[in-house]
Amino acid sequence: MTPMKRFLLALVLLVSVASASKVWEFDTDGEVYLKPVVLGSNIVIASDDGKIYALSPMTGAKQWEMNIGEVPNGMVLFDGGLVVSTPGGMVKKVSIGGNEEWSANLNTTPHNASYIFGIDANDDTVFVSANNGILMLDANGDASRLNNFPESTLTPPAAGSNYVIFGRGDELLKVAENGVTIWTTGLDRGSFWQSAPVIQGGVVYIGALDDRMHAYALSNGIQAWEAWARNWILSTPLVEGGSVYFGSNDGNVYAVDVATGQPRWKAETQLAVQSQPESGFMGGQEVVFVGSTDKNIYAISRDSGDVLWKGPAEGAVGGTLFYQNIIIAGSQSGKVTAHSTERACSITSPVEGQLVGNKELVVTGKYVSESGDAIVYMNINGGQWLEANTSDVDWTYYLNPSQSLGTGLNTISCLVSDAAGQESGPDFTSVSINYDPTMEPSDLVVRTPSSIAEGGEFTVYVNDGDDGSPVERFDWTLDGRDGTSDRNITLTLSEPGTYELTVSKIGFKDEKKTIEVYASGVNPIFIVVGGLLILIIIWQVWSRVISKRFIKKKRR
């Protein structure tokens, strides 16, 4: 990038006139956890305040709202409108313009469904999973019962062309619209719960409380494979591009092969991921977006599993929607936010909550940009934006904690500025770390060859005494020379003698090492070995000849 372009981008940072990372924000009076739905030209979100809201995807302006009366727990497009369910048994259909078309109270005789777990629909029927079985609603809102399971816990259903699939306890069932059970399969432990079945390519995918993602043949229910996590899987899977993506209560997002279930990658968040991943783009790269209960939205590379962006929220994040190049998500705080996706950065090190001392802190991350000519900047505690070093996809910044951090909590943030604009606040990818200036300096481990000849090349290795890792960017002095090196130093000393090498690094104790250099052709090791051989010969002569004669004389 030319100096003039750098100057202009720096000017942009100062005046903050470029496009913002956060496009808009909308407040409700209750938690927002359901995935937003596109209805006509609007985005519909459901809030625990008992209402659904239609918002402009470009501005977040409210177009209309409807009072559902209870907390919505399911939304599905059906027959040109939107069907919304509540846990207490109410199901309503809403038109594109926000008018109620029909409502059905399933918590009355003869249906008596006191709790609804979820809904799904095909072209003709809305399927409702309830605590007493599966109910069906037609285009007029008239209800009928598919089957009866008294006092049962069911998963949300998945609607097929003329059948429905759902979990009940440790069983997974496929039932035709006429009520005939086509097949049943089961778990050897645990149960199905909040993860909804996903039907794609002749296979049914569903997560369970046995810490596994399962794949079953749609035709007969025979299990094709299972993939392990380290905790419950409440996340509904996303199946796309040859992979199955899902979250787990272990805090990870997983990608496994769609045909075999073999792991492709695992991406870490700080807390449970219970929402369904959403496919989209970030900085021109294919990603999956997920909301985590750690109060962040993540954009994760579909190819590598690298976290490319982390957007903060004020509460646990639910389902996400990628629409018109923005990512929309609600959270436990009641806020719905939309962020642009043209450019982004992530911070991979240090990690959230990390305790650091006086060692040089290497801040690293990833970045993406649709426009090119990208520069990554980072700041500490909202201070000056500082340009980082960048490669094709990675960025790095080195800082001295004693000079840059304050005692206690510190926040490190990053942003991307490119040829088309830059991210601007208040939401930036950030991590919070804890700096303790009283931590004792660490030891350097310096290893040199045991034998060094004059004029010969030799290598000195420098490692961290805490974990044995190679040390980057250390300083050294030797015989009037000095330098800065990474991991090791390759040296040559032209004269025999004794030398002192000093290695120093921020946050470490200085380490001094004595180096002995012998004259060329006179290896001290050979001298020592030769001396030992002479001693051995003398001992052999003494023990076999001289000592025997001495003993004989003594006897006489």
Domain ranges across the chain: 444-518, 529-556
The CA-CA-CA angle for residues 67, 68, 74, to 5°, reads 135
* pLDDT computed for residue 546 by the predictor: 58
Task: HSE, CB side, 13 Å, CA atoms: give it for residue 182.
Answer: 18
User: Strand 452-453 relative to strand 511-518: parallel, antiparallel, unpaired?
Assistant: parallel
3-state secondary structure labels for all residues of 147-216? CCCCCCCECCCEECCCEEEEEECCEEEEEECCCCEEEEEECCCCCCCCCCCEEECCEEEEECCCCEEEEE
174 in Cβ contact with 182 (< 8 Å): yes
* pLDDT computed for residue 21 by the predictor: 78
* pLDDT computed for residue 350 by the predictor: 97
352 in helix, strand or coil?
A: coil
Tell me the pTM.
Answer: 0.85
Which bin fits 177, alpha (ψ -120 to 50), beta or left (φ > 0)? alpha
* pLDDT computed for residue 479 by the predictor: 87
CA 89 to chain CA mean position, Å: 37
Q: How many CB atoms lie within 10 A of CB 514?
A: 9
* pLDDT computed for residue 418 by the predictor: 94
Please give the average pLDDT of every successive group of 10 residues along the chain, which has 556 residues. Answer: 44 34 94 98 98 98 97 98 98 98 96 97 98 98 95 96 98 97 97 97 98 98 98 98 98 98 97 98 97 97 97 95 96 96 95 96 96 94 96 96 97 95 85 96 95 93 96 94 96 93 96 92 56 72 59 51
Task: Tell me if the domain spanning 444-518 has CATH number 3.90.1150.10.
Answer: no
* pLDDT computed for residue 426 by the predictor: 80
Helix (H) or strand (E) holding 6: helix 3-15
pLDDT tens-digit profile of 157-216?
999 999 999 999 999 999 999 999 999 999 999 999 999 999 999 999 999 999 999 999
